[in-house]
Amino acid sequence: MYPNLIQHIRKYVELDENDVLVLIKYIKLVSLKKKEFLLKEGQVCRSLYFVEKGCLRMFFINDKTVEQITQFALDNWWMSDYFSFMDNKPSDYYIQTVEKSEVLTIDVFSFEELLKELPQMERYFRIIMQRALAASQLKVKYMYELTKEEFYMHFCTSFPEFIQRIPQYMIASYLGLTPEYVSELRKKNF
């Protein structure tokens, strides 16, 4: 049950069979089709989401017309609007499946209970947050360092699995480019 999550946790902390039984008390599995929503703007983000299988995207609506993607989560990634989750505030974001997905959810209350009952999960999430923070800082560095063309090329070579699975216009949005410009770059570079 939830093999990817269990394995992921065990990369960072000890988790015996009993701990697993505790863990699964607090976790819910949600099976979703393509384009289903886990969160919409205005709702409080009440859960952390772990992608067992599939792909999520997080986006907000720019000047009320354009979807601006800020994150993707493929298999074995956590996703949440942490501000909304922590402070119980309405979110500015949507979280939606990009493809058919199996998502594990843990709500605020279960999260706190789980941390009490399995203190090593405090360490696990500390490490997860720390790694997510490092990744976020790296993305910001690339946004500063690279031209948009370089940013796109870098993304293509660094994350070829995204190029396979995610429509081009979504990648454009994630990188802060227009789809038209990505078209131009593809023509130019291949």
Kindly tell me the sign of the dihedral angle through the C-alpha atoms of 137, 142, 59, 78.
negative
Match 């870098």 to its residue by tokens: 154
CB 23 → DNA: shortest distance, Å?
35
**Residue 156 zone, left/alpha/beta (φ > 0; ψ -120 to 50; rest):** alpha
Stretch that binds DNA, among 45-53, 107-115, 120-128, 146-154 (CB under 7 A): 146-154
- Name which of 46 and 100 has its Cβ closer to a copy of itself: 46
Q: Give the residue, chosen from 18, 147, 157, 164, that forms a contact with DNA under the rule CB under 7 A.
A: 147
**Alpha helix positions (H), 34-95:** 82-87
Match 């976790």 to its residue by tokens: 27
Contact call for residue 181 and DNA (CB under 7 A): yes
Angstrom distance (rounded) from CA 140 to CA 85: 23
Per CB under 8 A, contacts with a copy of itself among 2-31 are none
How many chain residues are in contact with a copy of itself, going by CB under 8 A?
32
CB 170 → DNA: shortest distance, Å?
7
Match 């946004």 to its residue by tokens: 143
- For 64-90, letters b (16+ CB in 10 Å) and e give eeeeebbbbbbeebbbbbeebbeeeee
- Name which of 13 and 32 has its Cβ closer to a copy of itself: 13
Binding site for a copy of itself (CB under 8 A): 60, 62, 68, 70-71, 81-83, 86, 92, 115, 119, 122-123, 125-126, 129-134, 136-141, 143-145, 176
Binding site for DNA (CB under 7 A): 147-149, 167-170, 176-184, 186-187
